[in-house]
Amino acid sequence: MATDTATPPPPPTKRYLDALAGRAFTPLRSALVLGAIVMLAALSGCAPIHASFLQPQAPGGTITNRHCPPQPEILLFSQEGVVAAVLMDEVGSGRRAIRLTFEVPRGRTVRLLGSSLTVTTARGERAVSQLSGVWRGSKNRSADVRPESLMVGRTERWRLGTVTPYGNTRHDFFEFAAEFATQLGDDFTATLPPVLLDGFSWDLPPVRFRRVRRWLISPFNR
């Protein structure tokens, strides 16, 4: 009498085994990626957070972030090798400082045609504050400057130069600041003093600061 013999199943293919291995290691891979992100954040002292902050905006300006910033946004303008930046800091006790800075390379000159900065709030209120200035050069050198002073550019050939809020520069760096104790709110516009570049007008537009929310990199233990 004949007996039925069961046919053995075919051996698993390499593609099938690879698929099983991939599913098995997916949680491990996810854990490794997460661990790498946590380690990188710990080493840099920064982490991604969903934050609310005041962002400067103006036609012709480019926004850049500070490295691991407490206030992340800086608005940059560039012309003929000169870089102007506008940013804002919270300086404590409800005060805010709006900063106007210049990188001036060799062969260029910049001059402000005013010594104050005007802010207009969304409610139409105006506040004016006097600018104070400082020059920064290589080897940690610095000196006070008046807003009306002629900014004469110099460029270091071999040294990194000085540190700016958005990176290093080999050019001479000038920083002016105006502090405001007025409640400016979450939407206001800063009107900058007129600027001359090599004796010709450089029209920097009014800069609007508006509160936004987005993801950014921020330091631990802020």
Secondary structure of 136-158 in the HEC alphabet?
ECCCCCEEEECCCCCEECCECCC
pLDDT at 44 over 90: no
Residues 17 and 39 in one domain: yes
- Residue 65 is predicted with a pLDDT of 73
Report whether 129 contacts 117 (CB < 8 A): yes
Residues 62 and 156 in one domain: yes
Q: Which residue range forms the structural domain that includes residue 32?
A: 12-44
Q: Could you tell me the pTM of the whole model? A: 0.75
The model's pLDDT over 148-201, given as tens digits with 9 standing for 90+, comes to 999 999 998 877 778 888 888 999 999 999 999 888 989 999 999 999 999 999
The model's pLDDT over 52-80, given as tens digits with 9 standing for 90+, comes to 788 999 999 999 876 565 556 899 999 99
Q: How many structural domains does the chain have?
A: 2
Residues 35 and 67 in one domain: no
Q: What is the spatial distance between Cα 164 and Cα 103, in angstroms, rounded to a whole number?
A: 9
